[in-house]
């Protein structure tokens, strides 16, 4: 049996749903901790462009992990 996906595909639309393994939950929690933990460090009201770049990098890393460890994405119409 192939490795279990950390992130299942959404039932409707394109992309991934909530995590189904502890590894997926760890990645999700780490993403939000880093996202909100960066606010007092970078101070977006003073360094908006830096915080935008920081969040962009975090999102790219999250999508790469979802792509590698998630169910292959495609457009889905539910159970049709």
Percentage of residues in the chain with pLDDT exceeding 70?
92
Q: How many CB atoms lie within 10 A of CB 16?
A: 21
Quick: pLDDT tens for 11-23. Answer: 899 999 999 999 9
What does the pLDDT read at residue 77?
85
Domain-by-domain residue ranges, the chain? 23-72
Least trusted range by pLDDT, from 18-22, 47-51, 58-62, 72-76: 72-76
Q: Is 75 a residue whose pLDDT tops 80?
A: yes
CA-to-CA distance for 7 and 23, rounded, in angstroms? 9
What does the pLDDT read at residue 15?
92
């Amino acid at each position: 049996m192939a490795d279990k996906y950390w992130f299942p595909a959404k039932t409707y639309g394109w992309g991934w749903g909530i995590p189904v393994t502890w590894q997926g939950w760890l990645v999700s929690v780490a993403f939000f901790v880093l996202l909100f933990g960066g606010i007092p460090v970078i101070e977006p009201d003073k360094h908006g462009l830096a915080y935008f770049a920081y969040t962009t990098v975090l999102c790219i890393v999250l999508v790469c992990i979802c792509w590698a460890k998630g169910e292959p994405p495609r457009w889905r119409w539910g159970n049709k």
